[in-house]
Structure 1
Amino acid sequence: MEPVMRFRPTAVFAAIAAALSSIFLAPPARATTDAELQAIVVQRLHGDRTGACFAAAVIDGETTSRAYVCADGGDPSRRVDATTAFEIGSVSKPMMAALLAGLIREGKASLDDPLSSWLPDSTKVPTFEGKPILLRHIVTHTSGLPAIPADVNYDPQNPYAKLTEADLLDALSRMTLTRAPGEKQEYSNFAAMLLSYGIARRAGVDFETLLRDRVFAPLGMDGTYIAQRPKGIKIAVGHTPDGKPTSPWDFPTDFAGVGGVRATLDDMVRYVRGQFGGAPAPLDTDFARTHLPIETPSKAPMAMQWMRATLNGREFLAHEGGTGGFSSFVAFDPKKKFGVVILSDTALHGMGGLGSLGLHLLDPRVPLGKPALPEVDTGPAPTLSADDAKAYVGEYALMPDFALTVRAEGATLTAQATGQGAFPLTPKAQDTFAFADAGIVIRFRRDAAGKVVSLSLEQGGHTMQGERK
Structure 2
Amino acid sequence: MTRHRLAFILAAIGLANGASAFDDASLQQALNQRLAGDRSGACMAAAVIEQGQVSRALSCADPAQLDRIGFEHSFEIGSVSKTMNAALLAMLVAEGKLDLDDPLTKHLPKGSKAPEFDGQPIRLRHLLTHTSGLPSIAPSWQLSNPANPYSTLKQKDLFSALGKIELATAPGSKFEYSNFGAMLLSWVVSKTADQDYQTLIQQRLFEPLTMQQAYIKKPGKSVPVVQGHTPNRQPTPAWTFPADTAGVGGVRASLNDMIRYLQAHLQPAEDALGQALARTHETLDENPGKGIAWAWMVAPLNDREYLVHEGGTGGFSAFVAFSRDGERGAVVLSDTALTSIGGLSSVGLHLLDPSVPMGKPRLETQPDAELLDALVGSYRLAGGLNMELRRKGDALEIQATGQPAFAMGYDSAGDFYPLAFDALLRPAKRSDGSVGFSWLQGGGVMAAKRIEQVATPPDLSLGDYAGRYPLMPGFELRVFADGEQLKAQATGQGAFVIDYADSDRFVADAYGIEIVFERDTAGAVTALKLHQGGQTMSGKRR
The aligned counterpart of 1:91 is 80
Give me the whole-angstrom Cα distance separating, in 1, the residues matched to 2:349 and 2:218: 33
The aligned counterpart of 1:455 is 437
How big is the shift at 1:380?
Answer: 10
Is 1:443 the counterpart of 2:427? The answer is yes
> Whose strand fraction is larger, Structure 1's or Structure 2's?
2
The aligned counterpart of 1:147 is 136
Q: Secondary structure at the match of 1:435?
A: strand
The aligned counterpart of 1:162 is 152
TM-score (norm 2): 0.73
> Whose helix fraction is larger, Structure 1's or Structure 2's?
1
The aligned counterpart of 2:71 is 82
* Aligned pairs (5 A) from 1:34-433: 34-74=24-64, 76=66, 78-154=67-143, 155-279=145-269, 281-295=271-285, 300-372=290-362, 376-378=367-369, 382=373, 388-389=377-378, 392-395=379-382, 405-407=385-387, 413-414=398-399, 424=406
Is 1:8 the counterpart of 2:4? The answer is yes
Distance 1:441-1:129 versus aligned 2 partners, 3 A rule: same
Distance 1:424-1:129 versus aligned 2 partners, 3 A rule: farther
Give me the whole-angstrom Cα distance separating, in 1, the residues matched to 2:340 and 2:65: 26
Q: Secondary structure at the match of 1:38?
A: helix
Q: Secondary structure at the match of 2:274?
A: helix
Distance 1:64-1:115 versus aligned 2 partners, 3 A rule: same
Q: Among the aligned pairs, what percent are the same residue?
A: 44
The aligned counterpart of 2:394 is none
How big is the shift at 1:405?
Answer: 4.7
Q: CA RMSD in A?
A: 3.4
Give me the whole-angstrom Cα distance separating, in 1, the residues matched to 2:136 and 2:103: 19
Does the CA-based 8 Å contact 2:36-2:361 persist in structure 1? yes
Give me the whole-angstrom Cα distance separating, in 2, the residues matched to 1:334 and 1:422: 51
TM-score (norm 1): 0.83
Does the CA-based 8 Å contact 2:44-2:335 persist in structure 1? yes
Equivalent residue pairs, number = 434
Distance 1:216-1:190 versus aligned 2 partners, 3 A rule: same
How big is the shift at 1:299?
Answer: 6.3
The aligned counterpart of 2:447 is 466
Specify the structure having the higher radius of gyration (Cα): 2
Give me the whole-angstrom Cα distance separating, in 1, the residues matched to 2:154 and 2:297: 29
How big is the shift at 1:466?
Answer: 3.4
Deviates more, 1:92-101 or 1:201-210: 201-210
Name stretches of at least 5 consecutive residues in structure 2 with no aligned partner. Answer: 392-396, 450-496, 498-542
Give me the whole-angstrom Cα distance separating, in 1, the residues matched to 2:409 and 2:226: 36
Give me the whole-angstrom Cα distance separating, in 1, the residues matched to 2:271 and 2:404: 49
How big is the shift at 1:254?
Answer: 0.1
Give me the whole-angstrom Cα distance separating, in 1, the residues matched to 2:264 and 2:6: 27
How big is the shift at 1:21?
Answer: 1.8
Does the CA-based 8 Å contact 2:37-2:61 persist in structure 1? yes
How big is the shift at 1:28?
Answer: 5.2
How big is the shift at 1:210?
Answer: 0.9
Does the CA-based 8 Å contact 1:455-1:465 persist in structure 2? no
Give me the whole-angstrom Cα distance separating, in 2, the residues matched to 1:198 and 1:167: 15
Give me the whole-angstrom Cα distance separating, in 2, the residues matched to 1:317 and 1:283: 18
Q: Secondary structure at the match of 2:427?
A: strand
- Please give the per-residue CA displacement for 1:386-421, whole angstroms capped at 9, x wherever unaligned: xx52xx12316xxxxxxx9544599984469xxxx9
Q: Which amino acid letter does the alignment assign opposite residue 258 of structure 2?
A: M
Q: Which amino acid letter does the alignment assign opposite residue 204 of structure 1?
A: D
How big is the shift at 1:296?
Answer: 6.5
Does the CA-based 8 Å contact 1:433-1:442 persist in structure 2? yes
How big is the shift at 1:149?
Answer: 1.5
- Please give the per-residue CA displacement for 1:417-447, whole angstroms capped at 9, x wherever unaligned: xxxx99847699xxx9943536944437899
Q: Secondary structure at the match of 2:220?
A: coil
Give me the whole-angstrom Cα distance separating, in 2, the residues matched to 1:151 and 1:439: 24
Deviates more, 1:103-112 or 1:158-167: 158-167
How big is the shift at 1:198?
Answer: 1.0
How big is the shift at 1:377?
Answer: 1.7
The aligned counterpart of 2:463 is none
